[in-house]
Each structure stands twice: as structure tokens, then as C-alpha cells.
């Protein structure tokens, strides 16, 4: 295979950007992910690729659940704040206000226009990332007319 063509063609896949959060007791992880997609209408399934050596991965393996905050077009700064280790300080998560999701009590960023909670239904070990297929069990919208942040517009790449 032509490695350059593989990289370029895979980088043409379009993505949004999201903050994935998991909590297990006092232990908490939140990080930016882009490898996320809907995968079924009924039941409403999504799939997400999570780096195996991350804290997010350790906690999803334990809890089999996660919460997603959807980033808006003008929230690139929030995405970059969640590339680094998760810090809970002054009631904020990496400098951003949050509340706990209604069912799982996982952190949701209150600045974000939409969110959902999802429960893992299948795990695909894959390669350096595990693919979690998960059923959306609750969702909320704070700003219905928000335009989601798209990877293409950030100039960043995670893929290829
Ligand atoms: P980690 O770096 O894993 O951990 C943060 C801290 O937690 C570490 O300092 C460490 O002290 C502690 N820690 C780590 N592991 C453990 C453990 N097992 N137990 C206890 N403590 C631990 N990642 C993806 O998985 N999927 C994506 O789709 C994705 N997309 C990205 C897109 C872009 C543009 C970029 C730049 C990054 C992307 N990432 C993605 C990477 C992801 O954003 C970072 O790895 C993020 O830091 C993960 O959060 P984390 O809390 O798991 O961080």
C-alpha cells in the first residue's frame, strides 16, 4: 500500500470534535475525541475509538459508560484544553464549568450546545485504539441552532 495515499485518503474522512468524560468514584477523566460516529437508529448506537494507553480507556473499561459534550464551531479553545491531563480545580474541569449528567453523574461541559450519555454494548479491541459501540441512553440540547465544531476547520489532524 502507498502509505502517503493511505494517510491522505484517511484524512479526508470528516469528523466533529467532542469531549468524552468518564467517572469512577472520585476518579475522573475527560478528553477530546474526534473518532466518533452514529452507528444505528434503533437502538440509537454510536461508536468511538479510544486510545488504549489513556486514562479514558481505563475508566471506560471499568464503568462501561461515558458522556459526550458536543463542541460548537467557536469552541476550538475547549478542545485544546482537553488534550492535556484532566484537572478538577475551583469547581471547573480544565478551566471550564461543568455539571453532572442526569443518569450516570458524569461531567458535561455546560458551555457546550448538546450532550449525550451512552452505555457500551460491544467492544472491538482493534489496534492502538479500542472501538466502543454504545447505546445512547439520554441526551440534551442547550443551544439547538449551534453549528458543531468540525475537525477540518481546526487545521488539526488525528488520523491517517
Ligand atoms: P491521559 O493522557 O491518558 O491521562 C491524563 C493523566 O491521567 C495522565 O497524566 C496520568 O497521570 C493519568 N493517567 C493516565 N492513564 C491512567 C490510568 N490508567 N490510571 C490512572 N491514571 C492515569 N484520543 C482518543 O482516544 N480518541 C480520539 O478520537 C482522539 N482524538 C483526538 C483528536 C485530536 C485533534 C487530538 C490532538 C487528540 C485526540 N485524542 C484522541 C487524544 C486525547 O485527546 C488525549 O489523549 C487526552 O489527553 C485523553 O485524555 P485522558 O484523560 O485519557 O489523558
Residue 135 lies in a domain: yes
77 domain residue, yes or no: yes
The parent domain of residue 132 ranges over 21-149
Q: What is the CATH number of the domain that holds 32?
A: 2.30.110.10
What's the mean pLDDT in 125-139? 97
- Domain for residue 72, yes or no? yes
Q: Which residue has the higher pLDDT, 89 or 130?
A: 130
Report if residue 10 sits inside a domain.
no
Radius of gyration of the chain (CA): 15
Nearest-CA residue for ligand 1 atom 50 is: 55
ipTM above 0.90, yes or no: yes
Mean pLDDT of 87-114: 96
When pLDDT is averaged across residues 62-78 and rounded to a whole number, the result is 98
**Is any atom of ligand 1 closer than 6 Å to the C-beta of 64?**
no
CA atoms within 13 A of residue 2's CA, in its CB half-sphere: 5
Report the candidate in 23, 18, 62, 41 with the shortest Cα–Cα distance to residue 136. Answer: 41
Residue 34's pLDDT is what? 98
**Ligand 1 pocket mutation pick from 27, 37, 54, 157 by most atoms within 8 angstroms of CB:** 54
Domains: count for the chain: 1
Amino acid at each position: 500500500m502507498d502509505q502517503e495515499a493511505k494517510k491522505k485518503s484517511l484524512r479526508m474522512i470528516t469528523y466533529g470534535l467532542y469531549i468524552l468524560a468518564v467517572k469512577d468514584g472520585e476518579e475522573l477523566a475527560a478528553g477530546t475525541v474526534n473518532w466518533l460516529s452514529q452507528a444505528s437508529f434503533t437502538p440509537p448506537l454510536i461508536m468511538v475509538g479510544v486510545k488504549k494507553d489513556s486514562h479514558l480507556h481505563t475508566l471506560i473499561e471499568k464503568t462501561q459508560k461515558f458522556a459526550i459534550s458536543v463542541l460548537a464551531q467557536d469552541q476550538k479553545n475547549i478542545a485544546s484544553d482537553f488534550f492535556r491531563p484532566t484537572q478538577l480545580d475551583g469547581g471547573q474541569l480544565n478551566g471550564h464549568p461543568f455539571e453532572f449528567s442526569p443518569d450516570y453523574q458524569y461531567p458535561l461541559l455546560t458551555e457546550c450546545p448538546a450532550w449525550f450519555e451512552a452505555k457500551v454494548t460491544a467492544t472491538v479491541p482493534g489496534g492502538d485504539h479500542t472501538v466502543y459501540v454504545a447505546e445512547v441512553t439520554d441526551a440534551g440540547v442547550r443551544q439547538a441552532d449551534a453549528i458543531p465544531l468540525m475537525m477540518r476547520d481546526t487545521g488539526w489532524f488525528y488520523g491517517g
